[in-house]
Structure 1
Amino acid sequence: MIILVWLSVITLQSSSFQRLLSRIYTSTMGACLCKDTPRGSQGHPGEISDSVDNPSRRQVPLGHIVTEPLNHLDIIESLILNTMYNIKTLVDNDRALPHSLLAIHKIADTESGWLLVVSSLVKVIPLEDPLGPATITLLLDECPLPSKGTIAKITSNLKIGKKTALDERKSKNIQRQRNTCIVLGCLAEKMAGPNSTCLMTGNVLDYLFTNLESDCDPIVILHSIVALEKFAQTSENKSTISQALDQMVPNPLETLEAWGGVNGQLDTRREVTFCAQWTLDNLFVPTGRNFTYKSMDHSGKNVILNCNDVSENLKIAPSGLEARCDASSFESVRCTFQANTGVWYYEVMVITPGVMQIGWATKNSKFLNYEGNGIGDDEYSLAYDGCRQLIWYNAKCEHHSHPCWKPGDILGLLLDLDKQEIIFSLNGNCLPAYNQVFAHARSGFFAAASFMSFQQCEFNFGMKPFRYPPKVAFKKFNDYGSLTDEEKLILPRHMRLALLRQVTVKEDSCTICFDKQDTVMLLPCDHTGFCMDCAMQLEVCPLCRTNIEQRKQVVVRTNSVKILNKDDGVHGTESEETKPGMKSAKTEDEKIQICMTDVESSTDAHSALEATSTHTESS
């Protein structure tokens, strides 16, 4: 099938063309398998060339009409590069997706087209563009899921194996190596389960393990570790990888953990060290592992990133001051201290130059990581984006005059609650003040940040001297915050999960926060199990997805519910309804019981669990 793509400015603004693209896009969304069709399957996946002819310049020129089949390799490569350039302008949630992304999605609806798209991603995404890895993640996430047969073909087409890894290293084809690892990791994350197990063949493992050798380029090592981590989302793969690592002497991850651990290091080796250490503590735990959190020196540290107020896929270093995201979602975190009055300042050192939104947020700011919403995407937060050169508030943005940030840059964030203004600075160069967020929030601000895939930064809340302190009088978080020794611990995830499994809660606790009593009935569905605070944040019932029209306060009794008609403005009247099988109320004296038997490092773990209750208020 021949599809004409008109790329002139006039056509891009044409409403009929936008409707056509929308039909192309919506007709293919939700497809689960790539299947070839006889018509439109011209062109076949070819062998990937090692050379790229200046990919940063290869675009489909404006005003050009493409009359060749869309699955022609050159056209696909041009569409991919156009998509990468357009990502920087995708700043409006209501804006239509770029035509290049829609066209690629249509191409990938067939098996041969999907194979060409993946091969082109490996070939043309440049090393030097900070949005390159995000482009691979975005495009693979938008494409239909491949079938098992297609998975086998892509590993064959890419010639993945130990020999290929060694040949690429010898020829210094770092771009192809890195992109291949990103593709493998994205597919493993997207297809977690049986298909991920099919993808992780012996050749794939050999390729990734070979890339962990110390003489390999650090960027290739980094994305090989991340790919192994994503394969480990499937338990069978995790067991296979762990067994293989246990047989290696020395364990390559342990070698890499110590390989780049120099304070202040700003190259990719620092990222490698972070990821190697995190996987050893959280995923591929060697026998007798001395977990990093036990050896951390937290003296003088009074504020950290809150491990109880973070979206689930963000990695927080044992220091509590460094964070990284390798997931395809938009992960967010707040710190443990809130500012209510006065002037406050903190700094962030940029480690990776990609998309991060760093700023200030109250506890009302929502972390909707899978919807792509983070700090600066609601009315209770304001954020600085140094990659796309934007200031974000309530999911709207405006450009700022700073250059794009780069590794080693220092972002300064000044919050003046007296004047109700926020000032951002990059390496001491200040922007004008912003005050939009104060229309909805006057106090209770936390340092906060959101991270796109493969991004990392380090926070300084005042424990160390600031690099670019403001000229006005200000307060440091670290001078006013307070943490117990137990609250400073960042436990490995498997230990936190083990503790959660040992916790029992009162039967009448809210099923969302497990903190307050369930005193609310949602109408018209009559579902209960929520406190008023959580119920007020819901628009639909989480059990049946019915739109909530009314919230009734109830008093839970044995086999009965006492309803107070407050939502409809009727006060002083009550109606009592019997609810067979409803949870009976517990006494006020009932406490959470914690069973610590068979939990590794029970003393430290018990202390850390107690710390979570103290963190709750700031969460």
Structure 2
Amino acid sequence: MGSCCCKPQAEPGGNDDIFINREDIEFISGSGSEDGINSAALSSIADKYVLDTVAVIRTLVDNDQDPPPSMLKLHSIADKEAGWLVVVRSMVQVIPLNDPLGPAVITLLLDDCPLPSKETVVHLSKFLELSRMSAGESWKDPRLHRNICVVLGCIAEKLAGPASIALLTHTTLEYLVAHLNENNHPCVILFALIALEKFAQTSENKTSIGKCLSQGLNNPLRTLESWMNHTDFVHRQVGFCAQWCLDNLFICEGRPYSYESIDTAHLNAMLNSNDVSEYLKISPDGLQARCDASSFESVRCTFQVDSGVWYYEATIITAGVMQIGWATKDSKFLNHEGYGIGDDEVSVAYDGCRQLFWHNAQSQSHTHPSWQPGDVLGSLLDLNNAQVIFYLNGDPLPPLTQVFKNATCGFFAAASFMSFQQCEFNFGKKSFIYPPKDIPFQSFNDHAYLKESEKIILPRHIQLQKLRAMSVEEGACTLCFDESAAITLLPCAHRGFCNRCALQLDYCPMCRRHIEERREVDQKSNTEEEVT
């Protein structure tokens, strides 16, 4: 399953050789005492449990069962304010830089721990000694700085509002902005940028950050966005996030929006930006997606297939948990509960991090190695023979057939993303890197069609402005506001829907009664005709 999964398939070794109960914590931490020996003992214990969690996180697959013992024990330690700070320090000091799930572990642990008090939040920057740290040291110890940035961003997201403002002290803001120098370690730049983005969810912080970025001759984000097509995949993530921030948060006067320079002449299929939550970032060309939230975000392609053989590719930009495959129009995604592609009976997915297939929330191991940045996942949907084949860099796995017990048509290319994960899709606009050699197939881009207006992915604040300015004509559809509301739903007889929206409904949105018929009302004669 997705990012909220919380039980290992097998019990992790070494978690039970030290048992921590509330009395032990009170004795070791001394109720917030600064006793060096006690603090060292508690820190050592917390370090061990953090590393245990990092070791087991890759095998967590079930959303509905208990977390591993190491996470439960860290939760107990963090139940006290002094213990919470110790857990934060342990995450900063011991989570490795090269583990693709390291930042996600920080997110999971902070989500699992109790909320800190405002006083503890204010004390955090002093506790982490941010004023003593130089951003120029990010190459000397990028692990430390990367983890500090992840922690600050996660807490800012968790404590939006006054507590977030209290955390963004002058010292914290200077620390994060200083890391945006192109000469620093790219991984540290990435998570400093993401942290600033999360702080900017609070409007007062957004203003402070914008002023800080605009000081001097050059906004550092303008330089960093040029990394969008860098050959190194960490640099590419920095470029993606910098561009997204410039389009959506920290607007630069005189800078055109990215969507205005995108060539959409031969773009006929893309990710559906109207079918996602606000937490998923989609590139202006509609072919890259990234999640930096703690939820498990999903997206589908704009083109639906009902017959034939179809193929697309996804270039892996981050090596963490993503579930990439096929979903139907009936698939339901619960982003905050951790359910995505492959977690219902009408979708199927490939997970290259945990080396699993997913269907109906059940996993099955496969023999491909764990994917790495730059790998290409190919996905072939053969509706003629009712099978799905996944390829990693051209190497096929045995066909999957389970999904066709419940779905035979209405498929979309789709994917779900754990925190800090990103990939780029190719639906046929450019040549495939590893096309199947033994099976004739079609590409979406050769058969799909999009209006020019449907190819534009507007920044969110512009979308909101357009919605506010939109004048809804009398008699317009209550769902899309575009077409005339000329359909009556039967047997409930509720009205207010256009033909296009009515055909997508199985249940009346007003009374939840099953729709048996859809009748078009002739506005002039007031007579009804059945719609099929």
Question: TM-score, normalising length from structure 1?
Answer: 0.74
Which of the residues 133, 142, 151 maps onto 2:112? 142
Deviations 1:373-394 (A, max 9, x none): 1111111110000001010111
Partner of residue 159, structure 2: 191
1:86 equivalenced with 2:56 (yes/no): yes
The 5-angstrom pairing of residues 259-338 of structure 1 reads 260-262=227-229, 265-338=231-304
1:403 equivalenced with 2:369 (yes/no): yes
Partner of residue 441, structure 2: 474
* TM-fit CA distance, 1:93: 2.5
* TM-fit CA distance, 1:95: 2.9
- Give the whole-Å Cα distance in 2 for the aligned partners of 1:117 and 1:376: 34
Structure 1 contact 520–551 (Cα < 8 Å) conserved: no
Partner of residue 209, structure 1: 177
Which of the residues 269, 289, 312 maps onto 1:346? 312
5+ residue gaps, structure 2? 1-9, 525-532
1:249 equivalenced with 2:236 (yes/no): no
- Give the whole-Å Cα distance in 1 for the aligned partners of 2:12 and 2:290: 41
- RMSD over aligned CA atoms reads 3.4
Structure 1 contact 43–71 (Cα < 8 Å) conserved: no
* TM-fit CA distance, 1:588: 5.4
Percent identical residues:
52
Secondary structure, aligned partner of 2:454: coil
The 5-angstrom pairing of residues 4-403 of structure 1 reads 41-42=29-30, 72-161=42-131, 163-166=132-135, 168-169=137-138, 172-258=140-226, 260-262=227-229, 265-403=231-369
* TM-fit CA distance, 1:425: 0.6
Secondary structure, aligned partner of 1:236: helix
Q: Which amino acid aligns with 1:113?
A: G
Partner of residue 65, structure 1: none
Structure 1 contact 325–452 (Cα < 8 Å) conserved: yes
Deviations 1:324-366 (A, max 9, x none): 1111111111111111111000001001101100000111111
- Give the whole-Å Cα distance in 2 for the aligned partners of 1:181 and 1:338: 40
Structure 1 residues 351, 10: CA separation in 2 closer, same or farther (over 3 Å shift)?
A: closer
Structure 2 contact 346–403 (Cα < 8 Å) conserved: yes
Partner of residue 3, structure 2: none
- Give the whole-Å Cα distance in 1 for the aligned partners of 2:26 and 2:202: 35
- Give the whole-Å Cα distance in 1 for the aligned partners of 2:419 and 2:351: 14
Structure 1 contact 274–317 (Cα < 8 Å) conserved: yes
* TM-fit CA distance, 1:503: 2.9
* TM-fit CA distance, 1:94: 3.1
The 5-angstrom pairing of residues 502-513 of structure 1 reads 502-505=469-472
Structure 1 contact 510–518 (Cα < 8 Å) conserved: no
Question: Which entry has the higher C-alpha Rg, 1 or 2?
Answer: 1
Structure 1 residues 248, 72: CA separation in 2 closer, same or farther (over 3 Å shift)?
A: same
Secondary structure, aligned partner of 2:295: coil
Secondary structure, aligned partner of 1:339: coil
- Give the whole-Å Cα distance in 1 for the aligned partners of 2:508 and 2:377: 33
Aligned pairs, number? 495
Structure 1 contact 229–279 (Cα < 8 Å) conserved: yes
- Give the whole-Å Cα distance in 1 for the aligned partners of 2:206 and 2:488: 39
Structure 1 contact 383–391 (Cα < 8 Å) conserved: yes
* TM-fit CA distance, 1:266: 3.5
Secondary structure, aligned partner of 2:301: strand
Structure 1 residues 434, 535: CA separation in 2 closer, same or farther (over 3 Å shift)?
A: closer
* TM-fit CA distance, 1:512: 7.0
Structure 1 contact 356–387 (Cα < 8 Å) conserved: yes
* TM-fit CA distance, 1:311: 2.3
Relative contact order higher in (CA < 8 Å, ≥ 6 apart): 2
Q: Which amino acid aligns with 2:112?
A: E
Partner of residue 572, structure 1: none
Structure 1 residues 534, 340: CA separation in 2 closer, same or farther (over 3 Å shift)?
A: closer
The 5-angstrom pairing of residues 398-477 of structure 1 reads 398-471=364-437, 472-477=439-444
Secondary structure, aligned partner of 2:455: coil
Partner of residue 559, structure 1: none
- Give the whole-Å Cα distance in 2 for the aligned partners of 1:169 and 1:45: 32
- Give the whole-Å Cα distance in 1 for the aligned partners of 2:273 and 2:352: 25
- Give the whole-Å Cα distance in 2 for the aligned partners of 1:271 and 1:126: 19
- Give the whole-Å Cα distance in 1 for the aligned partners of 2:307 and 2:447: 12
- Give the whole-Å Cα distance in 1 for the aligned partners of 2:364 and 2:11: 25
Structure 1 contact 281–292 (Cα < 8 Å) conserved: yes
Structure 1 contact 137–186 (Cα < 8 Å) conserved: yes
* TM-fit CA distance, 1:553: 7.8
* TM-fit CA distance, 1:497: 1.2
- Give the whole-Å Cα distance in 2 for the aligned partners of 1:223 and 1:11: 29
Structure 2 contact 28–39 (Cα < 8 Å) conserved: yes
Structure 1 residues 441, 149: CA separation in 2 closer, same or farther (over 3 Å shift)?
A: same
Structure 1 residues 553, 328: CA separation in 2 closer, same or farther (over 3 Å shift)?
A: closer
Partner of residue 467, structure 2: 500
Secondary structure, aligned partner of 2:380: strand
- Give the whole-Å Cα distance in 2 for the aligned partners of 1:199 and 1:10: 37
Q: Which amino acid aligns with 1:328?
A: S
- Give the whole-Å Cα distance in 2 for the aligned partners of 1:428 and 1:70: 51
- Give the whole-Å Cα distance in 1 for the aligned partners of 2:258 and 2:35: 44
* TM-fit CA distance, 1:436: 1.1
Q: Which amino acid aligns with 1:108?
A: A
* TM-fit CA distance, 1:165: 2.7
Q: Which amino acid aligns with 1:334?
A: R
Structure 1 residues 249, 535: CA separation in 2 closer, same or farther (over 3 Å shift)?
A: same
The 5-angstrom pairing of residues 491-570 of structure 1 reads 491-505=458-472, 536=507, 551-552=512-513
Deviates more, 1:196-205 or 1:97-106: 97-106
Secondary structure, aligned partner of 1:384: strand
Deviations 1:92-117 (A, max 9, x none): 22332111111111111100100000
Structure 1 residues 464, 533: CA separation in 2 closer, same or farther (over 3 Å shift)?
A: closer
Q: Which amino acid aligns with 1:496?
A: Q
- Give the whole-Å Cα distance in 2 for the aligned partners of 1:553 and 1:396: 30
- Give the whole-Å Cα distance in 1 for the aligned partners of 2:30 and 2:522: 72
Secondary structure, aligned partner of 2:336: helix
Question: TM-score, normalising length from structure 2?
Answer: 0.85
Structure 1 residues 518, 270: CA separation in 2 closer, same or farther (over 3 Å shift)?
A: farther
Secondary structure, aligned partner of 1:305: coil
- Give the whole-Å Cα distance in 2 for the aligned partners of 1:520 and 1:113: 60
Q: Which amino acid aligns with 1:74?
A: S
